[in-house]
Amino acid sequence: MLILNARQMRALEAATMQEQQIGSVELMERAAKGAARFIAKQYDIAHTPIVVFSGPGNNGGDGLAVARLLHRMGAQHVEAYLFNTQGSLSETCRHQAERLQSECPELHFVEVTQQFEAPTLSPQTLIVDALFGIGLSKPLGGGFAALIQFINSSGTQVVSLDLPSGLMCEDNTCNSPSAIVRATHTVVMGLPKLVHLLPDAGVYVGQTHLVSKGLSALPAEMEEVKYHLSEESELKALLKPRQPYHHKGNFGTALLVAGKYGMAGAAVLAAKACLRGGAGKVVIHTPAANNDILQTSVPEAVLDMDADTHIFTTPVPLQGYSALGMGPGMGTDKRTALAFIEQISHVHIPLVLDADAINILGLHKGWIQQVPAGTILTPHAGEMKRLGICAADSYSLLLEAINMATSHHFYIVLKGHFTAICTPEGHVYFSGQGNSGMATAGSGDVLTGVILSLLAQGYNAEDSCRLGVYLHALAGDFAAEALGEHSVTASDIIAYLPQAFAHLQPVRLQKLERIAMV
């Protein structure tokens, strides 16, 4: 699914109207019907007081159309306020205002041109926020900022149309938090926008719900779209069927360098996930002090002991290995760091770096130049901040990840609620799966194991990232469904990986049929 900026969205809407031979009002009606249906399903509109705040642009027109449709659907208490303080309405907004007045004369409608007298709101009131949409390019101030503060302090539920008013489509680094609506629900119209997927915006957008506008396909002449939201059909196509006559050698040998003394659990989780991900064989290079734990916890894995008892100090010859994963619980000791850079400087197989491998690079930024092109890095927000040189807000971190991916030819898996996979070509694929239960120690180690497993099986780096992130998140969703989000552990995610694989590609065992002799 495409994620468009404001300019691209307007171009696609214009192309849709031309191709389908419809006007802007018809396109607006489609979106408004979807939003009204969502509100009617979510709330008891016959008994819920509804107040619609509309701005002077097309988002305001959406709000007026929703007010009219809700009234026609049986809402008994609807008030609509149109803020036209500059005496300038968009064409579609003016059309919707006139239509509202003519079709629903009994509905309470006020066009605010100067002073605004705020209505009295009960705790049961629902506010529909349609003040500003994707066209906003600077923070709100003055009367609109005061109105948003009134909305946020009202204690009522808020449904925002497309975007919470005051929130900009992509970059909000210089925005004013007090001048952004904090919505309970955001009804996204047509296609998601980048800000819907950024962690910082979660406090504003609430729960997001996509409604269709019947948009046409992207015109061939339109500029290339950078951002995408992965869909299940795409991921199903990436998963290769297992060949029935293959042996373990055909499914690759993964080498995992992980687990200093006291952190053997990280190695256990990554190795188990790698095995559950389908790798034919997993070898763990780890300090000798972890021997008993790993032999007991992961008997299917082969152990390769480091020369040191407690930390990683000795690079591993890579002959016979299909892919290498480094970092989970590895530590950042000086000797470990030197062994790490020596190891990756001679890598000729697919490589995924996580956790302490990334932290070592953050401590020695000059070493990033020695990381092979095509390497996968899987930082969370804190690790990404240490790895790059950027502000801590989610938009800046995403831009830093994109820049690092394109300049060094890396694949950056920026982990979060909507994990972002940044490719060397500058494309970004977001995952729509996952839940808060996955915010638990060891979850990242599991993801590393899954991606390493796919690399070992011969998947390319991009497909390993996209498929690995999806399977990991889907397993987390299955675990949360069974156990509740509060109770999910990293081990639970591993336990539900088989269900995630089966969801994408059900197993169909080939059986020989008995042939009767005649």
Cα(376)–Cα(327) distance, rounded to whole angstroms? Answer: 12
Taking only the tens place, the pLDDT of each residue in 281-320 is 999 999 999 999 999 999 999 999 999 999 999 999 999 9
Considering the four listed CATH numbers 3.40.50.720, 2.60.40.10, 3.40.1190.20, 2.40.50.140, the one that applies to the domain covering 232-504 is 3.40.1190.20
Beta bridge mates, 83: 112
Q: Which range, of 25-34, 224-233, 354-363, 382-391, averages the lowest pLDDT? A: 382-391
Beta bridge mates, 255: 283, 324
Cα(498)–Cα(273) distance, rounded to whole angstroms? Answer: 10
Q: Which range, of 219-223, 282-286, 452-456, 501-505, averages the lowest pLDDT? A: 219-223
User: What pLDDT is attached to residue 220?
Assistant: 76
User: What pLDDT is attached to residue 509?
Assistant: 58
Taking the CB of residue 102, how many other CB atoms lie within 10 A of it? 9
* Segments in 190-306 forming alpha helices (H): 202-205, 232-238, 264-276, 291-297
Cα(477)–Cα(172) distance, rounded to whole angstroms? Answer: 30
In the predicted model, is pLDDT for residue 514 greater than 70? no
In the predicted model, is pLDDT for residue 487 greater than 80? yes
**Radius of gyration, CA atoms only, the chain:** 27
Q: What angle do CA 433, 437, 443 make, to 5 degrees?
A: 80
In the predicted model, is pLDDT for residue 402 greater than 90? yes
Taking only the tens place, the pLDDT of each residue in 455-486 is 999 999 999 999 999 999 999 999 999 999 99
Query: In degrees rounded to 5, what are phi and psi of residue 284?
Result: -105, 120
DSSP secondary structure letters along 155-187: --EEEEESS-TT--SS--TT--GGGS---SEEE
Closest CA to 475 of 452, 494, 488: 494
Q: What angle do CA 192, 375, 249 make, to 5 degrees?
A: 110
Cα(275)–Cα(281) distance, rounded to whole angstroms? Answer: 7
Domain extent listing, the chain: 2-6+13-216, 232-504
**């607006």: which residue's tokens?**
28
DSSP secondary structure letters along 441-478: TTHHHHHHHHHHHHHHTT--HHHHHHHHHHHHHHHHHH
Beta bridge mates, 109: 80
Taking only the tens place, the pLDDT of each residue in 105-130 is 888 898 888 888 888 899 999 999 99
Considering the four listed CATH numbers 3.40.250.10, 1.10.290.10, 3.30.230.10, 3.40.50.10260, the one that applies to the domain covering 2-6+13-216 is 3.40.50.10260
